Amino acid sequence: MVDLDRLPDLDPATVDPDPIAQFNAWLREARETQPRWADAMVLATVGTDGNPSARAVLLRGHDVDGFRFHTNRDSHKGRELAVNPKAALVFLWWGVERQVRVEGVVEHLSDAESDAYWASRPRGSQASAWASPQSEVVAERGALDAAAAAIEARFGDDPIPRPAHWGGFLLRHTSVELWQGRTSRLHDRVRYRPAAVAEGGATELPIRTWVTERLAP
**Contacts with ligand FMN, residue ranges (CB under 6 A):** 40, 53, 55-58, 69-72, 75-77, 134-135
Q: Closer to ligand FMN by CB, 23 or 169: give it.
A: 169
Rounded Cα–Cα distance for residues 110 and 125 (Å)? 20
Q: How far is the CB of 41 from ligand FMN (least distance, A)?
A: 8
Closest C-alpha to 159, from 110, 114, 121, 132: 121
Q: Are 132 and 193 spatial neighbours (Cβ–Cβ below 8 Å)? A: no
Name the residue nearer to ligand FMN (CB basis): 17 or 52. 52
Question: What is the distance between the alpha carbons of residues 101 and 178, in angstroms, rounded to a whole number?
Answer: 7
Closest distance to ligand FMN from the beta carbon of 162 (Å): 14
To the nearest whole angstrom, how small is the minimum distance from the Cβ of residue 23 to ligand FMN?
A: 18
| Comparison of 62 and 193: residue with beta carbon closer to ligand FMN | 62
Instruction: Please tell me the distance from the alpha carbon of residue 166 to that of residue 79, in angstroms, as a whole number.
Output: 12
Nearer to ligand FMN, 38 or 207 (CB): 38
Q: Shortest CA distance to 72 belongs to which of 145, 146, 154, 164? A: 164
- Residue closer to ligand FMN by CB (options 81, 96) is 81
Tell me if 85 sits within 8 A of 106, measured CB to CB: yes
- Name the DSSP class of 161: P
Min. distance of Cβ 67 from ligand FMN in angstroms? 12
CB of 100 to ligand FMN, least distance (A): 16
